Amino acid sequence: MSSSSQPASPQFLFLNASTRESGVVGNTEHLARVAAQSLPAGTAAQWLRLSELAMPAFVDLRHSAGVYPAPEGDSLTLLNATLAATDLVCVAPVYWYSLPSPLKLYFDHWSAWLRVPGLDFKARMAARRMWVITTSGDREKAQPMIDSLRLCAQFMQMDFAGALWGRGGAPGAVQSDAQALAAATQFFARPASAARSLV
């Protein structure tokens, strides 16, 4: 886990935060996979389903011990995948106007990774890009979750590259959202400044 520079070639990490049962492709994942098909040829892409990783509960030691041990197990797997990525894609349906619990737990662990001696997590994440792909019944009601992720990126000095929204609900609903599917095919092709304008 020694400090290293950002990978030279694009490496996309898709974090699927859905809590649907295994084997069910929800609307957000479907939209994300449509978008991923338009990544430039040869772009490395890794997909992780957060609900299938055994992440421990986050214990807040910031104002007691002040430091955290190096992560182990699935936490280490997730940390390594995060640091290997140039582009972090949060594939997150809106749950109760907010983040799905697996994604919230992942970001809670950022507070620990910031305090692992020698890891330099914040410095290593700076200038990487964060994207959001989400679905919900109403675009306006997705905004608080999008804003939360934008603020996380801002705190880490990452480039918030934008959000792609589609209509959600029962599995398959987004497949009738022609506007979202069309936007998905161009989502990763736009410069970050143009992508941000869609949020």
Q: Following DSSP, what letter does each residue of 138-160 receive, concatenated? A: -HHHHHHHHHHHHHHHHHTT-EE
Q: What are phi and psi of 91, to 5 degrees?
A: -100, 90
Range 20-26 contact pairs with CB under 8 angstroms and sequence separation of 24 or more: 20/171, 22/52, 24/171, 25/171, 26/93, 26/135, 26/168, 26/171
Q: How confident is the model at residue 197 (pLDDT cuts 50, 70, 90)?
A: very low
Domain ranges in the chain are 11-196
Placement of tokens 């737990």 in the chain: 105
Answer whether residue 2 shows pLDDT above 80: no
If pLDDT is split at 50, 70 and 90, which confidence band does 3 have?
very low
Q: Which helix (H) or strand (E) holds 76?
A: helix 73-84
Q: What is the CATH number of domain 11-196?
A: 3.40.50.360
Instruction: Determine contact, residues 32/83, Cβ cutoff 8 Å.
Output: no
pLDDT score, position 9:
87
The gap from C-alpha 28 to its chain's centroid, in whole angstroms, comes to 12
pLDDT tens-digit series, residues 87-142: 999 999 999 999 999 999 999 999 999 999 999 999 999 989 999 999 999 999 99
139 in Cβ contact with 170 (< 8 Å): no
State the pTM of this model: 0.90
